[in-house]
Amino acid sequence: MRILKYTTSLIALFVSWGGLAQEAKKDFKPSEVIFAADVIDLGKSLFTDETSLEFHAKIDFHHFYLAGEFGIDKINPIGTGFNYSSEGTFFRVGPQVNLMPYNRHRSSIFFGLMYARSSFKDQISYSQPDVGWGDEVIAHTNENLKARWFEANMGINVKVLEPLYLGYTMRFKFSQTLSGNGELQPFEIPGFGEADKSSQFGFNYYIIYKLRFRDKPIPKKPIRKIEEVEEKRTR
């Protein structure tokens, strides 16, 4: 019964949002471009030996966004007896929907689906004892690695001081496929994470700049529709 209750509530929520979106006057003319940088990755680049940068941009169409992301990742963990390095780039692209279009501060809660690809290379070298000849250095390299995956993400952007916002994105990454590897199995895929996993979760924390080039009116919330849906749900 509890599962049925939660399922009914979720259906009612999406039905009500759909009703609100239909009633609101549609305005698909873009009004702003949003730029963002991941502060967690910036911190890694500044205070560790890892180079990790990720940038995000999107443009609005009515209550929807077209989002794109680009990143650089370079790691070089050194352990006892081995030296491993990996470097490459990645991008993500996909649609998002604003679930809070009536906020007067233009803060937002969004849900999106994205397609992602990464191109990178890695190499490892390690010493292996060789009787009579000393240690033998063995090296393996992957020069042309490719990976792709899909993401479902949800996040929030909150106004701090116009035009600056702060926000975070939670990601579920799935259906990862990898090609181009030889004897060396990659340790990490830029933008995805551990290469031996087909799915995993991710988190980004962004500082955001909104470049607004026209004053797009904030639609009024049609309360009547919400009350009607809530009344039907409780019958």
- Do 148 and 79 share a structural domain? yes
The pLDDT score that the predictor gives to residue 11 is 43
Residue segments in the chain with a per-residue pLDDT below the cut of 50: 1-15, 17-23
The pLDDT score that the predictor gives to residue 14 is 44
- Do 76 and 31 share a structural domain? yes
- Do 42 and 102 share a structural domain? yes
- Do 201 and 162 share a structural domain? yes
The pLDDT score that the predictor gives to residue 230 is 59
- Do 95 and 205 share a structural domain? yes
- Do 141 and 89 share a structural domain? yes
**How many domains is the chain partitioned into structurally?**
2
Residue range(s) defining the domain that contains residue 231 = 1-25+219-235
pTM for the model stands at: 0.80
- Do 86 and 14 share a structural domain? no
Among candidate residues 15, 13, 14, 31, the one with its CA nearest the CA of residue 218: 31
> Domain with 123 in it: what CATH number?
2.40.160.20
Cα separation of 77 and 80, whole Å?
10
The pLDDT score that the predictor gives to residue 30 is 93
- Do 96 and 18 share a structural domain? no
The pLDDT score that the predictor gives to residue 138 is 82
Non-local (6+) Cβ contacts of 207 within 8 A are: 36, 37, 39, 164, 165, 166
